Amino acid sequence: MKYIVILGDGMSDRPLRKLNGKTPLEVAKKPNMDFIARNGRCGLLKTLSEDMPLGSDIANLRVLGYDPRKYYTGGRGPLEAMSMGIQLRKDDIALRCNLITEENGILKDYSGGHISTEEATELINLVEERFGTREIEFHPGVGYRHILILRSSRYSTAIRCNPPHDIMGKKIADNLIKPLNESGRETSRLLNKLILRSKPILESHPVNLRRKKKGKLIANMLWFWGAGKRLELPRFKERFGLNGALISAVNLLRGIAVYLGLDVIDVPGATGYLDTNYEGKAEMAMEALETRDFVYIHVEAPDEAGHEGDVNKKIKAIEDLDKRLIGKILNSLRGEELTIAVLPDHATPIEVRTHTTDPVPFAIYSTERKGDSVESYSERSAELGSYGIKEGTEFMNLLLGR
C-alpha cells in the first residue's frame, strides 16, 4: 500500500459575497478532489488553536501526527534553518527574515512584491556583509523567505514578533519587536535596530532601483519573526513504520522533513507561488513512491493567494493543483493499491488575509476501504462526512486506517 498526502496550504476559506455565498473550493472546478471525496471518507480537522501561534509549522506538525505542545520551541525559524543545512547549537536562535515592502512607515507587502530568489540573494548577501558578525548570521533562502541566526546565549526567544502577513497596512512603529520580559530586552533592541537600519541600504541597492523602474514593489526592509531554538522530534518511521518523502518549495516544510527523517525531494521550477511546477511535483512524487511507502506533497500557492486577498488567484491555485498535480497522480496510479488524501493545513480566508482556527476539510480515499455519502470536496460538504470533526494529530492514524 502506498500513501499520498496532498496538502494545499491555506486552501480552506469562508463564504464570500462576491461568490454568491460560496467558498473558492465550492466554486473551483476540481473533479479530482471531488473524486477523492466522493469515493473516500470526509471530515473536518482542527489543526490550529488560539493557545498557540496560527502558523503552518504548527498545522503541518499536527497533520503529520506530532503534537506541537510537546515538541514546539516557539517559532518556525529552526525548521527553516534545518532545511537549509544550518546547524544549530543548544543556545542558538533562528528567526525567519522576510524581505518586505515599507512605504511611508506602513508595512505594505509581506513578500517584497514576491521578489525572486536571485534578486533576494543579492540583498541578503549585502545585509550579511554590512551587519553580519560572529554572533549574527544572515542566510539567503527562497524568494522573500530568509533566515537570521543569533549565536550567543545572551540572546533570548522571550520576544513578541508579529508575522508580516498579519500586519499589512499597519504602522511599522506600532509593530516592532517587543520583549516579553527582561531577558528579551537586548534581543528586541538588536532586532529592531537591524530592521530600521536595513531600509537605507536595501532601498538604494541596484536590485530595488531596477524593480522600481519597472513599476514593481521594492523589497526595502527586513522583518524578523518565528524565533525558536533547536527541536527534538522522534523520527517519522519510528512512529508510523513508513519510509517517506516530502515535496515542497517552502523551507519550513523541508525543515520539518529533515527533523522527521523524511527524504526531501527537489523539484526544478517549484517556486512556492502560483507559477510553481505542479507537473514536476507529481512526477517526482510518483518516482519517490517507487522506493518509499509515503509521500507528502505540499503546495503553497493557495495560501499566498489568501494572504493577497485575491479570490481569482485562489480559485486558479485550487484548479491548477487539482488538474496539474492530483489528476496526474490519479491517472498514473490507476489500478494500484493506494490511499490518497487531500486537505489544507489551515484556512487563509480571502476576507481576513491571514490564518484562522477554522476546522479544515479533509478527504481520504483508499482502494481498500468503503467511502461515505459526500459528493464533493469543500468545507460544507466535508462537514457531512463520516469522520466528523477530528483533532489534527489524529489525521495520520485515519490515513493509515488505524
Helix (H) or strand (E) holding 226: strand 221-228
388-391 and 106-109: which strand pairing?
A: unpaired
Residues of the chain within CATH 3.40.720.10 domain(s) are 2-72+234-399
d(CA 378, CA 8): 13
For domain 81-228, give the fold: Alpha-Beta Plaits (3.30.70)
DSSP structure class, residue 393: G
Reduce the secondary structure of 129-195 to three states and give it as a string: HHHCCCCEEEEEEECCEEEEEECCCCCCCCEECCCHHHCCCCECHHHCCEECCHHHHHHHHHHHHHH
For domain 2-72+234-399, give the fold: Alkaline Phosphatase, subunit A (3.40.720)
What pLDDT, on the 0 to 100 scale, is given for residue 373? 86
Question: Measured in whole angstroms, how far is the alpha carbon of residue 73 from the centre of its chain?
Answer: 17
d(CA 4, CA 340): 5
What pLDDT, on the 0 to 100 scale, is given for residue 73? 74
Name 328's Cβ contacts closer than 8 Å, sequence gap at least 6.
278, 279, 282, 283
d(CA 237, CA 294): 10
Average pLDDT value for the chain: 97
pLDDT tens digits in sequence order for the chain, 402 residues long: 999 999 999 999 999 999 999 999 999 999 999 999 999 999 999 999 999 989 999 999 999 999 999 988 778 999 999 989 999 999 999 999 999 999 999 999 999 999 999 999 999 999 999 999 999 999 999 899 999 999 999 999 999 999 999 999 999 999 999 999 999 999 999 999 999 999 999 999 999 999 999 999 999 999 999 999 999 899 999 999 999 999 999 999 999 999 999 999 999 999 999 999 999 999 999 999 999 999 999 999 999 999 999 999 999 999 999 999 999 999 999 999 999 999 999 999 999 999 999 999 999 999 999 999 899 999 999 999 999 999 999 999 999 999
In 3D space, the residue among 178, 226, 308 whose CA is nearest the CA of residue 56 turns out to be 226
Residues of the chain within CATH 3.30.70 domain(s) are 81-228
In 3D space, the residue among 61, 37, 84, 5 whose CA is nearest the CA of residue 292 turns out to be 5
DSSP sequence for 373-392: S--S-SHHHHTTSTTEEEEG
What pLDDT, on the 0 to 100 scale, is given for residue 74? 76
What pLDDT, on the 0 to 100 scale, is given for residue 72? 83
d(CA 378, CA 23): 8
d(CA 301, CA 10): 8
d(CA 146, CA 30): 33
What percent of the chain shows pLDDT beyond 90? Answer: 96
Dihedral sign from CA coordinates of 47, 346, 227, 164? negative
What pLDDT, on the 0 to 100 scale, is given for residue 147? 98
